[in-house]
Amino acid sequence: VVAVVDTGIDYNHPALKENIWVNLAEQNGQPGIDDDGNGYVDDIYGVDFISGKATPLDDEGHGSHVSGTIAGRLPADDFYGVAPRARLMAVKTHNTKGEGSKASVVKGILYAADNGARVLNCSWGGAPEAGEYDQMLFDAIAYANKKGAVLIASAGNEADNNDTGMHFPSNYDLPGIISVASSTSTDTRSYFSNYGSRTVDLAAPGSNIWSVAAGGKSYVYLSGTSMASPHVSGAAALLASTPAGRSMSPAQIRETLMNNVEKLQEWSNRVISGGRLDVSFIGR
């Protein structure tokens, strides 16, 4: 299960609807009742932490695009995500403007961890105000790591060196976070991508990525480290589904993905691993 901690998911889109995580206790339970006792009523597909309702439908588009890259699947359109058999949990923490609060993202991360997500995709982040260190967010991610969930975080789109700046959650020093920069189709750094030889783990494709558009049956090209992170989330889901990966800790998943990148000169001094995501080793 991959939790998409974002603007929600268009769980009616034909390329996503077959891979949406379902809370069976709530689906088969009584309407208006918290059947599974997890504190949320009728959270069949996840929770909207913006409105407080159990309808985490994407009204912005960002979360659906991310979801398509992770686990989209529609043979009729010849569209497949990285892990087309993974399940997508809709954890809506950002509004129609793509803005989220500390409270919404912390609650979302805790919900995902408590409800069985093995991978959390967090295609968002930024510099805290006045250098403030956000202990609540750090603690929530540490909790998710202890529950066995690895968190994939985008490195940011300011073309900055994260070694000398502050970008969170990607910069948190936790073994279960993977920080992702964006690469182009020719394996160069995307012009917008943040980087950091001590703070960013690896690169993944993030320029002109074709994926799901919310609110219909269509697709769209988008660019950003937000588009790079879901490639790594898909890879983490694939790895976690293998016999060896099922017992891996979040730190071991991170280490394994980093140890198997394609080493590239372009990235030798820009990310810790010195390379771009390579999933060809998984399942060998």
Burial of 187-221, coded b for 16+ CB within 10 Å and e otherwise, reads eebbebbbbbeebbbbbbbbbebebbbbeeeebee
Q: Helix 250-259 vs helix 225-240: angle between axes, to the nearest 10 degrees?
A: 110
Residue 225 identity (one-letter amino acid)? T
How far, in Å, CA of 284 to CA of 280, rounded?
8
48 is catalytic: no
Strands (E), the chain: 2-6, 46-48, 73-74, 79-80, 88-92, 119-122, 150-154, 177-183, 202-205, 209-212, 219-222, 262-263, 275-276
Marked catalytic residue, from 154, 226, 229, 233? 226
94 is catalytic: no
Radius of gyration of the chain (CA): 17
Marked catalytic residue, from 6, 43, 58, 201? 6
62 is catalytic: yes
How far, in Å, CA of 196 to CA of 171, rounded?
10
Marked catalytic residue, from 13, 35, 48, 62? 62
Tell me the sheet residues that pair with 211. Answer: 220
The token pair that represents 165 in the structure block: 């700046």
Query: According to the 3-state scheme, what is the secondary structure of 49-91?
Result: CCCCCCCCCCCCCHHHHHHHHHHCEEHHHCEECCCCCCCEEEE
**DSSP 8-state code for residue 17:** G
Contacts of 132 (CB under 8 A, 6+ apart): none
What amino acid positions are annotated as catalytic residues? 6, 62, 226
